[in-house]
Amino acid sequence: MSHEEIAAAALDQLAIELPSWGFANTGTRFGKFLQAAAATTLEEKFADAAQVHQLTGACPSLALHVLWDLPGGIGDVARVQALERQHGVRAGAINPNLFQDQRYKHGSVGNPDPAVRAEALAHLRESVDIARELGVRDVSLWFADGSNYPGTQHIRKRKHWFAEALGMVHERLSPAQRLLVEYKPFEPAFYHTDIADWGMALVLARDAGAQAFVLVDTGHHYLGQNIEQIVAWLLDEERLGGFHFNDRKYADDDLTLGSIDPYQVFRIFHEIQQAAWEQGHPPDLAYMVDQSHNLKGKIEAMIQTVRTAQELWVKAALVDRAALAVHQSACDLVQAERCLTEAFATDTRPLVRAWAEAHGLPPDPYAAFRESGYLETITRERGARNLSSVTSYA
Ligand code: LRH
Ligand code: MN
Ligand code: MN
């Protein structure tokens, strides 16, 4: 196959889900830099996501956070369905929120108070129902649960409470649904986090049932951790459910995918495509973005993320896997490594542009976005409301 054919086949397979929260104003622990064009309502988040989808052709769905997007819970389902129809973007993974309410100060399903655990479980079950009503497959779980000081919480008891809750949420799933269990080593808890790494997430997913999988957020690892090995192991265990894409320099920085270490993203993609090549079919994974930009323009940053993912995905598809297998068996180290570095060094931008043109998409989505005037329009429409509390902005 030619590079063009390899690229086209690879890109046809890659759908990337956008996060509703990535279009809203967010900040740091120290404050917010508000953007005039940020989305506030769910309507605006759908509209912005639709822009990214129209320009990249790769983002047919929008992940939703229940508390932020469906404050009325299951009662908001009809409103979401109307927006799906209006904007041509599907609702994506449903994210329960068990980290903002005051009652979760000492945890949600890991809270020592059984009443709080019951409330958390009720929210999780409602999230499964919301997803089912929307025809959404994945319920994506992230827990802020943990503690800040040694001795203050009973780690094993909390593990059991987690296992019990996830098992009960799993029982609520319909056969087509999945639970994704996300891990994170620290923040907001700084001594122990109940689901701190992929091993803990895997144990809980396995205990919960056959429809529970691990979600790898690329920012949720210690520096230097070999994420692609985690991916390879989870693939082999058939428990990898999907990704939250972002990049980081230090911790959970939520930077644009590939902005700091594109080779790492490439290596992750390589492991996925290697498994696909060996199995004869691609693993069924959810590729989701989890980024909140407060300095870059939000829509532009999403376009950049998607384009970067496409370029790196094609690089991974260019790895000569037959040659790699031969070199690995012979322990021909340099030639084996070069299978990766040669593919990584290939300029895939023209291949992605050609694929876009063949699909009637703009070859340069950055330019197309700037020319569209969309940003000026929403800045005008949303600016007064978004910036009512500040006097100057960039
Ligand atoms: C936690 C996290 C999780 C949340 C999102 C807003 O750091 O990665 O996925 O749902 O950020
Ligand atoms: Mn995440
Ligand atoms: Mn995160």
Query: Do 270 and 277 touch, CB atoms closer than 8 A?
Result: no
Tell me if the pTM is above 0.90. Answer: yes
| Domain total of the chain | 1
Q: Is 327 in the pocket of ligand 1 (CB under 6 A)?
A: no
User: Is 140 inside any structural domain?
Assistant: yes
User: Is 312 inside any structural domain?
Assistant: yes
- Band of pLDDT at residue 391, cut at 50, 70 and 90: low
CA of 174 to the centre of ligand 3 (A): 27
Q: ipTM, 2 decimals?
A: 0.99
As a whole number, mean pLDDT of residues 197-214 equals 99
pLDDT tens, 37-72? 999 999 999 999 999 999 999 999 999 999 999 999
pLDDT tens, 13-22? 999 999 999 9
**Structural domain harbouring 115:** 3-387
User: Is 394 inside any structural domain?
Assistant: no
Q: Is 244 in the pocket of ligand 1 (CB under 6 A)?
A: yes
Among 314, 315, 312, 339, smallest CA distance to 325 is for 339
Query: What letter represents residue 277's amino acid?
Result: W
CATH number at 290 reads: 3.20.20.150
User: Is 71 inside any structural domain?
Assistant: yes
pLDDT of residue 31: 85
User: Is 338 inside any structural domain?
Assistant: yes
User: Is 107 inside any structural domain?
Assistant: yes
Q: Is 69 in the pocket of ligand 1 (CB under 6 A)?
A: no
**Pocket mutation for ligand 1, best pick of 66, 182, 195 (most atoms within 8 Å of C-beta):** 182
User: Is 393 inside any structural domain?
Assistant: no
CA of 23 to the centre of ligand 2 (A): 15
User: Is 331 inside any structural domain?
Assistant: yes
Query: Is the confidence at residue 389, as pLDDT, over 70?
Result: no
Residue ID of nearest Cα to ligand 1 atom 2: 142
Distance CA 58, CA 352 (A): 12
Q: Is 248 in the pocket of ligand 1 (CB under 6 A)?
A: no
Burial label for 260, CB within 10 Å (0-12, 13-18, 19+), is middle
Averaged confidence pLDDT in the chain: 97
CA of 381 to the centre of ligand 3 (A): 30
Kindly identify the ligand whose nearest atom is closest to the C-alpha of 93. 1
Q: Which contiguous run of DSSP H or E holds residue 43?
A: helix 42-56
